[in-house]
Amino acid sequence: MKRFLLILLLIIVSCDKSFKAPEPNKLIDQPMMEEILYDINLLKAAKSKSYKILKDNNVQADIYIYEKYKIDSVTLRQNIEYYATFSFKKAKEIEERVKLRFDTEKNRIEKVIQDSLQKNKINDSVLHHKKKEFKDKQDINILDSEGLIVSNDFKKWILVHSFFEKEKSDVKEVRDSIVKLIANTDNNQHRVDMPTSLLEGKYEFSIYAKKNEMDFIRLRIGLEGYPVIFDLSEGVILGTQEGVVSKIEIQDSGWYKCIIRCAVDNVSVVRVNIFDTNAVSHYPGNNINGVYLKEPKLKKIKKL
């Protein structure tokens, strides 16, 4: 395409200002000639910036010009020579208009690119913020890919008038998954809560529990869900509530899997209370007595 560039022709003919190319057999009018020269400049720029794209799409610049304007190489060459030598002033005007139009389009494209980059930057920032919000929400709810609330180490749970003591096992998996929930000396409830923001539905909450100095735990889903008390000494359920399905399953080494299911308007909290006796909700602990817990899980279910 270099032979098509008007600037080169102007340099060539400037060496001989007396040279005048004859009028072509097929004269291209000036407006169309400007369009052709503009397209040649665009294709030259595209070739320098996006050569691979043009090659992969089999775009040949000269063939594109010939087919678009229904001309051949001879006609184009004759017209470029004619306009370049017919009038230096007119040729310069054509060149300047083509350049002005090209620069205007270039600036427009650059602005579009900058705006797009800025928009992408903003979108990336928003996406990063949303990802952070989602991660923070995950951290609060501790949701896994199946929508379960799972926290073997209990780090995100909120202690109320109680504290955790880690299992002192030499086996890392056991040490990291088991906690002892201990009642402090306040005359109050002694429990651990997991705040959530799950919506209306049917849910199952389960946790593995083992008696220590205390024999009882109470589980509930949401503040509206009725609590259920589990006797870890006898392996039985006490005080079955209407609308709540509960179950206790014996495991190895004195462990029980305690399960409750119920329908609630929202799951604002999942709660585990511990007791010396099943009849007393508020009592002072001694910073020693408690219950072993591990693997709490909450999942949405289709039916109770």
Q: What is the CATH number of the domain that holds 221?
A: 2.60.120.260
Q: Which domain holds residue 240?
A: 149-301
**Is residue 134 a part of any domain in this protein?**
no
- Residue 69: which of 102, 95, 96, 31 has the closest Cα? 31
- pLDDT at residue 145 tops 60: no
What total number of domains does the chain contain?
2
Q: Can you give the pLDDT at residue 149?
A: 57
Q: Which residue has the higher pLDDT, 127 or 257?
A: 257
Q: Across residues 25-33, what is the average pLDDT?
A: 87
| Together in a domain, 216 and 265 | yes
**Is residue 85 a part of any domain in this protein?**
yes
| Together in a domain, 160 and 267 | yes
| Together in a domain, 277 and 170 | yes
| Together in a domain, 65 and 207 | no
- pLDDT at residue 289 tops 80: yes
**Is residue 124 a part of any domain in this protein?**
no
Q: Can you give the pLDDT at residue 226?
A: 72
State the Cα–Cα distance between residues 163 and 191, nearest whole angstrom.
9
| Together in a domain, 166 and 293 | yes
Q: Across residues 260-278, what is the average pLDDT?
A: 85
**pLDDT tens sequence across 65-83:** 888 889 898 888 888 888 8
Indicate yes or no: pTM above 0.85: no
Q: Can you give the pLDDT at residue 48?
A: 64
Name the percent of the chain lying above pLDDT 70. Answer: 73
**Is residue 231 a part of any domain in this protein?**
yes
Q: Can you give the pLDDT at residue 281?
A: 80
Chain mean pLDDT for the chain: 77
Q: β-pairing, 283-284 with 187-188?
A: antiparallel
Asked if residues 151 and 298 have their Cβ atoms less than 8 Å apart, the reply is no
Asked if residues 149 and 298 have their Cβ atoms less than 8 Å apart, the reply is yes
Asked if residues 12 and 5 have their Cβ atoms less than 8 Å apart, the reply is no
| Together in a domain, 294 and 171 | yes
